[in-house]
Chains A and B, each alone.
Chain A
Amino acid sequence: MEIQKKIVWLASYPKSGNTWFRAFLTALLNDGYLDINQIKTDGIFSSRQIFDEFTDIDSTYLYNHEVKKLQANICSYRANFYEKECLFIKIHDAYGYQELNLPIIPTESTLCAIYFIRNPLDIACSLASHINGTVDEAIALMNNHKKINTSSDNINTQDQLKQRLLSWSEHVESWAITKLPFPVLILRYEDMLTNSIACFIKALNFLGIKATHNQIETATRATRFEELKKKEIQKGFKERTSLKNLFFRKGNAGNWHTELTTLQIELIKKNHSNVMQLFNYLD
């Protein structure tokens, strides 16, 4: 069976603009209309529901290494299963290899990837809210070199499979610095903020999606941060993980100036300066 190359990975460390871009794509492909609870991309790599549906296995019974062995097969299977031209799959796992030394995401069914990168100083503020924790806990998570983002004890009661997140630097290195066997477009969150339309056009050209300037403008307007936040306040957002805080929190760049202590800033810079430098986050 010939496997079709149709998966587009929308990859990022959490809180780096991935959902925003998925909202934009949805609005673009839907005449500018967006229901944030019906984002029309094709799920997340770590979806337990999708895993179970395509394997007939209750994944809560599996060890992490078993899950990682099967995930690539599931993606390739889905690529062939669906008739549509592209599958846009969100992924927070770092690029890497499972224990049989095969990539955790399948090369044979991958068309390309877009990697969203954001200043880790701003991620720390946003991530703290996302994980219902403190900024220090968020920073610890971003410095965590563990292969799995939660304790690797195989307790599988969450609705997502465990993600191989690695540290922020390792995550960026895995997707945006290492040469991968498929094309990768890197988009900086900060550029998406200051020049949304130019960034989205760049992404659409990369993906080979044709759209008029008017369509792009309409979709961009519909997915401005304030619009997304307003929709979340009005109708809620099913992807939100925090009890107290909105998913679409502040969305701007540079919050860290007022939200982080000097010590926290130093700690992030100490751990991630090399990668930060590469992407102009140390100026």
Chain B
Amino acid sequence: MHQYWAYGLLVESEIEFPELLPFEFEKSDVTLCIGKTPETLTGEDVVHRVRVSISPNEYLLKFLNIANYYVANGNEIVIQPLPEGDEKSIRLFALSNAFAAILYQRNLIPLHASGIFYNGNVILFCGISGAGKSTLVTAFQQKGYIVFTDDVCVLQQQDNGDITVVPSYPMVKLWEDSFKKTGLSMVGEEKRIRPDLPKYANFYHEKFNNTRQKIDKIFIIEKNKSLIDIELQELTNLEAFKEIQINVYRSLQMNAMQKRNIFFTILSNLTKKITVYSVKRSAHNNTLTELLKLIETKF
């Protein structure tokens, strides 16, 4: 069995995950094994969508002919590989969907955000897929900042009411064109996150800091079709609440597992304590250099 740290949890896995941080421990939080997944989930509290079923304590995803994923009780992931499933694809949807289910089952809230370290805390960049989060943190990394997390981080409210955050795992996922935009050297074809997808893994295991952090600021990144450049605006508490809410990771899971109240409590505390900015960038032009400069003025 392989042992890893991921999303703040100790994971014992039958599958090797080069994406994750190897970590030694005696007792795991989560076990991941290869096996047969249930055919269906039944019960009144099960929410069924297209090839996915979710209840507060169980999750079943039948992903095309790649793999089935079953997640239960916040501590068990079972993967049943299917004939067309390649290792990378199987791992990618385990890391995104199955781990998100584990987190929700443990009352933890994953947020769609990348982040960098700043001044002893972290600055988060929230946004939907394609907003430019990974490109942005890579551009900051090129300027000397340390990446905290890519794509997802995990929010948790401490007993004293403070909101803290842990990273996902030490890999930034970048589309082919982001290497050119950020000046990062292109990685090899073996780093594709799926065999035919031009999106590549940029690992940063050596600099990965997996300790719990406080949030300094949040920037909500959005592509906008009617803008020629960039608009940055500080949000009121209410606006910040609404904007961050949209960026919860895998919202279907949160709703089906009935975790909205936990998220809303966290959000309510979070938006009272920290500054949140909305950053709208042009969907037409490459504004990365200006974007960095403008965001840095708010650090």
* Co-complex (A, B): yes
Whole-angstrom distance between the alpha carbons of A155 and B52 in the complex?
Answer: 25
CB proximity to B under 8 Å, residues A112-171: 132, 153-159
Q: Judge whether B177 and A56 touch: CB under 8 Å.
A: no
**Are B49 and A56 in contact, CB atoms less than 8 angstroms apart?**
yes
Name which of A18-26, A39-47, A62-70 contacts chain B.
A62-70
Contact of A236 among B63, B193, B226 (CB under 8 A): B226
CB distance from A236 to the nearest CB of B (A): 6
Residues of chain B lying within 8 A (CB to CB) of residue A55: 49-52
Choice from B52, B54, B61, B92 contacting A61 with Cβ under 8 Å: B92
A58 within 8 A of B: yes
The A236-254 residues at the B interface (CB cut-off 8 A) are: 236, 240-243
B3 at the interface (CB under 8 A from A): no
Q: Kindly state whether residue B238 has any CB partner on chain A within 8 Å.
A: no
B286 at the interface (CB under 8 A from A): no
Assembly CA distance A147 to B196 (angstroms): 18
A255 within 8 Å of B (CB atoms) = no
User: Which residue of A53, A70, A154, A236 contacts B196 across the interface (Cβ within 8 Å)?
Assistant: A154
Q: Within residues 244 to 277 of chain B, which ones have a CB less than 8 A from any CB in chain A?
A: 250-253
**Given A60-B130, A153-B198, A241-B225: A53 and B97 within 8 A (CB)?**
no
Q: Contact between B64 and A70 (Cβ–Cβ < 8 Å)? A: yes
Residues of chain A lying within 8 A (CB to CB) of residue B96: 58, 61
Q: Please, which residues of chain B bring their CB within 8 A of the CB of A264?
A: none
Q: How far is B52's CA from A53's CA once the two chains are assembled, in angstroms? A: 11
Q: Within the complex, what minimum Cβ distance (angstroms) separates B164 from chain A?
A: 25
Q: How far is the CA of A77 from the CA of B53 in the complex (A)?
A: 13
| Residues from chain A with Cβ under 8 Å of B214 in the complex | none
Interface residues of B in 176-207 (CB under 8 A from A): 176-177, 193-194, 196-199
Q: How far, in angstroms, from A247 to B92 measured CA to CA in the complex?
A: 38
Instruction: Please report the C-alpha to C-alpha distance between residue A157 and residue B178 in the assembled complex, in whole angstroms.
Output: 11
B40 beta carbon closer than 8 Å to chain A: no
Determine whether the beta carbon of B196 is less than 8 Å from that of A155: no
Do residues A155 and B198 form an inter-chain contact, with CB atoms below 8 A? Answer: yes
Report the separation of the CA atoms of residues A138 and B152 in the bound assembly, to the nearest whole angstrom. 39
Q: Is B208 an interface residue (CB 8 A)?
A: no
- B284 at the A/B interface (Cβ < 8 Å)? yes
Q: How far is the CA of A157 from the CA of B176 in the complex (A)?
A: 11
- The chain B residue sitting closest to A153, CB to CB, is B198
Residues of B contacting A279 with CB < 8 Å? none
Q: Of all chain B residues, which has the CB nearest A74?
A: B50
Q: Are A243 and B225 in contact (CB under 8 A)?
A: yes
B213-257 contacts to A, CB under 8 A, are: 223, 225-228, 250-253
Report yes or no: B175 in contact with A155, Cβ–Cβ below 8 A: yes
For residue B140, CB closer than 8 A to chain A, the reply is: no
Residue from B61, B93, B96, B225 having most chain A Cβ neighbours under 10 A? B225
For the complex, give the distance between the alpha carbons of A57 and B253 in Å.
Answer: 11
Contacts of A66 in B (CB 8 A): 64
Q: CA–CA, A56 to B256, complex, Å?
A: 11
Pick from A53, A63, A69, A236: contact of B251, CB below 8 A: A53
Q: Given that A61-B197, A241-B225 are known contacts, is A70 also in contact with B130, CB under 8 Å in the complex?
A: no
CA A235 to CA B177, docked complex, whole Å: 34
Bound-state CA distance A153–B129 (Å) is 17
Complex CA gap A176/B196 in Å reads: 35
Q: Which of A61, A74, A155, A236 contacts B176 (CB 8 A)?
A: A155
Q: Are A57 and B251 in contact (CB under 8 A)?
A: no
Q: How far is the CB of B17 from chain A (nearest CB, A)?
A: 16
Q: Is the CB of B228 within 8 A of A58?
A: no
Chain A contacts for B226, CB-based, 8 A = 236, 240, 243
| A42 to B95 Cα, complex, angstroms | 32
B92: A residues at CB distance < 8 A:
61
Interface, chain A (partner B; CB < 8 A): 53-61, 63, 66, 69-70, 73-74, 77, 132, 153-159, 236, 240-243
13 cross-chain CB contacts under 8 A: A56-B52, A56-B54, A56-B97, A57-B61, A61-B197, A154-B196, A155-B198, A156-B129, A158-B130, A240-B225, A240-B226, A243-B225, A243-B226
Other contacts beyond A55-B50, A56-B97, A157-B129: 8, CB < 8 A: A56-B253, A58-B129, A61-B194, A73-B51, A77-B50, A155-B176, A157-B130, A241-B225
